[in-house]
Chains A and B, each alone.
Chain A
């Protein structure tokens, strides 16, 4: 059963199953995705692919000269007397675990190298394989007519898709779009050029944003310097036995209250002695004698204020849309 732990590294068995096309589509996708994000497994996968290719290219080996005779003799004997083939100690072929593994790998590699899989062929046609694998696939395609035919079909398909035409929307498309975008508030030429300058500066500054951890470390180091200096200064001040938090708070409170008193005194003097306050008091005194007129003035004032607010909102706050002149010019 397929292993379902994408976080763990790929096992040798799983990689071999992948190269043998013995996995489901989902399992294959999972392996490809894991290998893309995990350098170690990517390297492991490429090593196995290379091994498969190398083994697939090994020449056929011939058995020992007396191999056939020994098999036939053993067969005759076994058929005649249902006996085991007597093999002397010298004749017995030593088969180590390494050889068995090698033979098993070779068998699988030869089978895998018989024909190229569709994914490998597509990657080859798109030029996505590493250089060495490209060369191996090319060599295989020269020798294998079936795979060459498949390759031609993939090329033909991709070429056909790439030849699909670019399509144009209707001539009114641009004007419809431009008619519905919010351009933002109207700007005077000077303000517009300033904003343009800021926008370009912002785009340029965007290139200065660090993109690597190392760059962030350097920037952080530089930014830390003033913080360190301020911290050292604070330490130097507060390490003096005469400077205590209580003494500092008392001093600050004294300075703030003194300043606030001075400001309030100035304001109060200005208000009491101002002619505006006198006129306002006189007007209120007069209006108090005529309540009907006062109410009418108040209602008229409220209505005029509301009207002014609505006009301002219509002209300044609502979004401007590109006008029809643009539409006519752009078609």
Chain B
């Protein structure tokens, strides 16, 4: 069966019927977006992998309860967000460090948990410039409240509409708008030296 051409909802239905290939295709489609979101929330590579894995395991083991009236992407992002926010609340990790895990005890551990990005099509100089700018933006995002962080990442990194973000975060639309306005305001203040 050609899974590439199937929609998320069809794949979810197949997965609910026990089709292993459908699970694998859903995982291929969402592993990077989910990992990116979780990583930017916790800024610890090993922890992000654990949380993203647990997100997929929870979602896939409960795929029979997925309601196809809603978008699959919103459903799985909601699980990822709730799981990560729960973790942050338990650990009280409201802000995160750009330089690797806040739990790293040695330089080596810190290095291992540092941000690793995929290769891009930019030339080396552009890459370095964007990397520096990106690092500062990542750092500023890491200082936001977790809820603001999720809203900004879903809106500007994942490109979700306000209505979808409201469903993912289980918040009224007006609150999402307010979160985004405030989050961007705080980012603008933190990054004033870069964007002015």
Contacts and interface: CB of A to CB of B under 8 A. Distances in A.
Interface of A: 25, 28-30, 32-37, 118-119, 122, 128, 153-154, 156-158, 160-170, 173-174, 176-178, 180-185, 187, 192, 195-196, 198-200, 202-203, 206-207, 209, 211, 322, 326, 330
Interface of B: 9-10, 12-14, 16-20, 23-24, 27-28, 31-33, 35-36, 39-40, 48-49, 52-53, 56-57, 60-61, 67-69, 115-118, 120, 130, 133-134, 137-138, 141, 152, 156-157, 159, 162, 172-175, 177-178, 180-182, 184-185, 187-188, 191-192, 194-196
Contact of B13 (A173, A200, A209): A200
Given A160-B195, A181-B57, A199 B187 contact: no
B36 A36 contact: no
A30 B178 CA distance: 9
A156 B117 CA distance: 21
A169 B187 contact: no
A167 B36 contact: yes
Contact of A203 (B24, B68, B177, B187): B68
Contact of A33 (B133, B173, B195): B173
A174 B14 contact: no
Given A156-B195, A166-B33, A209-B69, A326 B24 contact: yes
B117 A167 contact: yes
A136 to B, nearest CB: 20
A199 B184 CA distance: 43
B32 A181 contact: no
Nearest to B141: A161
A192 B19 contact: yes
A185 B23 contact: no
Contacts of A37: 172-174
Nearest to B166: A36
Contact of A160 (B13, B57, B133, B177): B133
Contacts, number: 169
Contacts of A167: 32, 35-36, 39, 115-118
B38 to A, nearest CB: 9
B18 A183 contact: yes
A157 B184 contact: yes
A158 B180 CA distance: 11
Nearest to A319: B61
7 contacts: A162-B157, A166-B33, A177-B57, A180-B57, A181-B56, A203-B10, A203-B13
B184 A153 contact: no
A33 B192 CA distance: 29
A203 B36 CA distance: 29
Given A29-B175, A173-B31, A326-B20, A162 B53 contact: no
A144 to B, nearest CB: 17
A38 to B, nearest CB: 11
Nearest to A201: B13
B69 A174 contact: no
Contacts of A181: 23, 56-57, 60-61
Contact of B191 (A35, A160, A165, A211): A160
A207 B13 CA distance: 13
A250 to B, nearest CB: 49
Contacts of A153: 188, 192, 195-196
Contact of A174 (B27, B61, B180, B185): B27
A29 B52 contact: no
